[in-house]
Structure 1
Amino acid sequence: MKTLLNLIWFVFGGFALALGYFLAGIVCCLLVVTIPWGIASFRIGAYALWPFGRTIVDRHEHVSVPAELGNIIWLLVAGIWIAIAHVATAIAMAATIVGIPLAIANLKLIPVSLFPLGKRIVRTDRLMPGYSR
């Protein structure tokens, strides 16, 4: 079922969404100072390409003050606009019964698009029991 949902997602928005994140990652990496956001953008793009069967978890051991400051800067510069775009796309996807799971997947991208630093993407079948998301 995950594969079918991922294929439908890929065709109806996942590819374009991932392409946008990859392009943003390239631009951020070219600007050297913004490389951490570029790497985070590549990570989000890979998740946006194939989201079903994976989830986002916090890196509690790796979150630092610079990462938190970077998240605040990202939120103000790009995060809010990306989150609004995800909400608008989710509303459009939810207009059909078939699109509801896709809309939910789009809404799952909002937290990581708001605060991308200090997150990682893991397969859901590799989560340990009792591990908080």
Structure 2
Amino acid sequence: MRTILNVIWLVLSGFWLFLGYLVAGLILCITIIGIPFGLAAFRIGAYALWPFGNTVVDRRDAGAASLIGNVLWLLLAGWWLALAHIGTGIALCLTIIGIPFGIANFKMIPISLMPLGKDIVPTDRPFTEQYR
């Protein structure tokens, strides 16, 4: 079932969102200071491309550096990536078939706004002590 949902997601919104994260990551990787943000964009882009079967968990070792990084991320790329999720989610919710995918887009807004200090893990893998 996950594969079917991921293929439908890929066609309806995943590919376009992935391209947005790819462009953001490439722009952010231009400078040495932006490389951690670019890597975060690539990580979330892979999640936006194929989200079903994965989940987002908070990292226990995230601290003040993640908070400062998230504020910078929000200013540099997070706000317009979140707008892409909002626009895509609204467009998908216009059809009955697209409503679950629109809701999935809305659920991705928090990680598009504040990605640092979070990990993307498979849902079938038991959570380790690091994530509890």
Whether TM exceeds 0.5 here: the answer is yes
Deviation at 1:127, TM superposition (A): 3.5
Structure 1 CA distance, aligned partners of 2:75 and 2:95? 33
Give the TM-score, by structure 2 length.
0.90
Residue in structure 2 matched with residue 82 of structure 1 by the alignment: 81
**Aligned residues: percent identity?**
56
Corresponding position: 1:17 with 2:49: no
**Would the aligned equivalents of 1:75 and 1:114 in 2 still touch at CA under 8 Å?**
yes
Q: CA separation in 1, counterparts of 2:100 and 2:19?
A: 21
The alignment's TM-score, normalised by the length of structure 1, stands at 0.89
> Are 2:47 and 1:47 aligned?
yes
**What's the counterpart of residue 116 of structure 2?**
117
1:21–1:45: 8 Å Cα contact kept in structure 2?
yes
Inter-CA distance 113–9: structure 2 relative to 1 (3 Å threshold): same
Q: How far is 1:22 from its partner?
A: 1.4
Q: Which string of whole-angstrom CA distances, capped at 9 and with x for unpartnered residues, describes residues 75-131 of structure 1? A: 2333222222211210110111111121122112111111011111011111339x9
Equivalences, count: 131
Root-mean-square deviation over aligned CA pairs: 2.0
Letter in 2 for 1:44: I
Partner SS state of residue 30, structure 1: coil
For 2:33 and 2:41, locate their aligned partners in 1 and report how far apart those are by CA, in whole Å. Answer: 14
Shift >6 Å, 4+ stretches: none
Residues 52, 105 of structure 1: 8 Å contact kept: no
Instruction: Tell me the alpha carbon deviations over residues 45-79 of structure 1, each in whole angstroms, 9 at most, x when there is no partner.
Output: 00001001111111112x12222101012123332
What residue ranges of structure 1 are gaps of 5+ in the alignment?
Answer: none
* Separation in 2, partners of 1:78, 1:20: 10
Structural mapping, 1:58-97, within 5 Å: 58-61=58-61, 63-97=62-96
